Amino acid sequence: MTTSLRQKMMEDLQLHGLSGRTQALYVLAVQQLAEHYHKSPDQITEAELRAYFLYLLNEKRVAPSTLTVALSGVKFFYVYTLQRQWTTIQLVRAPREKKLPVVLSIDEVRLILSCVKIVRYQMCLSTIYGCGLRLQEGIHLQVGDIDSQRMVVHGQRGKGSKDRFVPLSVSLLRLLRQHWWRHACRPHRHPFWLFPTNYNPKDTARENLGPITARSIQSAFTLALKASGIQKPASIHTLRHSWATHLLEAGVNLRVIQAYLGHASSETTTLYTHLTPQVEAPAVQAINDVVGRLWP
């Protein structure tokens, strides 16, 4: 893809309000299409585009999620950047995945977290589980996101850039405070990020430090999972699935859980208007009971 085409597509993606990660994935999808045919994507015909998706389906046998990203990126490029309304783009659909998510028991979550060697990573993963956060929400937590007066965590940078508040358990707050004050006199205690990256002595401005990276904490989780001996194909996102399942098993209303997870649905908007203290109280108590069993 030429520099001018790439620039135009990136500008279109920005104007469309897509996240930086989505923008990168869409551009990569078009780049892979161009590399497949060894020519600029604006020179590719509709017949070639059709053949490309058949190749992804029948020969390469990519996962449905991979096909979805490829289709979305290529479709965006041709519809919005090149303004071509091809039938093939409307025809291709990725097969729907019907896999049930992997779920860990509370004992398995406790075991995995105990195998995380670096305390900063352990606390971040514990918070991700304890609040049902997505990975990006967890690593980007700020000091001000922890509201100990209202006992909630402000989840930001979620899917669709939707903010939400999640109940904060008493036991998790205690752990976060212990972690915070343990590093009170250390140079890497950051005034902004709750889980900052490693402190570099050459960088005299702590404010310039960013949060821990997704790659580093994913690596920490993978090592901990292996050390635990648990054979389930778990990932960091499994902690979120497990949290929701544990709350459902504890009797929390499914609609309340959907609101806490920030799932986009036709019901989610109305949930916030109908939730009452009487509905919230059992949920908050259940969260304290469930999460408190990890750190009695």
Active-site residue, from 39, 150, 174, 272: 272
Domain ranges in the chain? 3-91, 106-292
Q: What is the fold, at CATH topology level, of the domain defined by 106-292?
A: hpI Integrase; Chain A (1.10.443)
Mean pLDDT value across residues 16-44: 91
Q: Give the model's pLDDT for residue 217.
A: 95
Strand order in the sheet with 146-147: 146-147, 152-155, 164-167
Among 86-95, 155-164, 215-224, the range scoring the smallest mean pLDDT is 155-164
Mark whether 162 is an active-site residue. Answer: no
Mean pLDDT estimate for the chain: 83
Cα three-residue angle 223-228-233, rounded to 5 degrees: 70
| Residue 159 is among the residues annotated as catalytic for this protein | yes
The DSSP bridge partners found for residue 166 are 153
> Catalytic pick from 21, 150, 159, 162?
159
Residue tagged active-site, from 75, 140, 190, 240: 240
pLDDT at res. 31? 93
- Token reading at 8: 């135009």
**pLDDT tier, 89 (very low <50, low <70, confident <90, very high otherwise):** confident
Burial of 48 (C-beta count, 10 Å sphere; 0-12/13-18/19+): middle
pLDDT exceeds cutoff 70 at 2? yes
> Does residue 195 or residue 182 have the better pLDDT?
195
- Residue 138 pLDDT: 93
Q: Would you state the pLDDT for residue 161?
A: 55
- Overall pTM surpassing 0.85 (yes/no): no
Say whether pLDDT at 181 is over 80.
no
Extract the tokens encoding 102. Answer: 């992997």
Per-residue pLDDT, 19: 80
- The reported pLDDT for the residue numbered 294 is 86
Q: Answer yes or no: 272 catalytic.
A: yes
Tell me the residue type at 208: N
Instruction: Examine domains 3-91 and 106-292 and report if their fold is the same.
Output: no
Average pLDDT over residues 247-266: 75
Q: For residue 111, what pLDDT band results from cuts at 50, 70 and 90?
A: very high
pLDDT at 30: 94
pLDDT band at residue 200 using 50, 70 and 90 as cut-offs = low
Q: What percent of the chain has pLDDT over 90?
A: 42
Residue 155's φ and ψ, nearest 5 degrees, are -85, 120
Tokens encoding 16? 């469309």
pLDDT higher than threshold 90 for residue 81:
yes
Q: Is the pLDDT of residue 17 over 80?
A: yes
For residue 154, the cross-strand partners are 165
Where residue 229 falls (left for φ over 0; alpha for ψ -120 to 50; beta otherwise) is left
Most confident of 65-74, 132-141, 147-156, 216-225: 216-225
The pLDDT of residue 210: 83
Q: Which CATH number fits domain 3-91: 3.20.20.70, 3.40.228.10, 3.20.20.140, 1.10.150.130?
A: 1.10.150.130
In sequence order, the 6+-apart residues with CB closer than 8 A to the CB of 55 are: 36
**What is the C-alpha separation between 153 and 260, in angstroms, rounded?**
10
Task: Out of 8, 154, 157, 237, pick the active-site residue.
Answer: 237
In the set 75, 120, 134, 140, the catalytic residue is 134
Altogether, the residues listed in the chain come to a count of 296
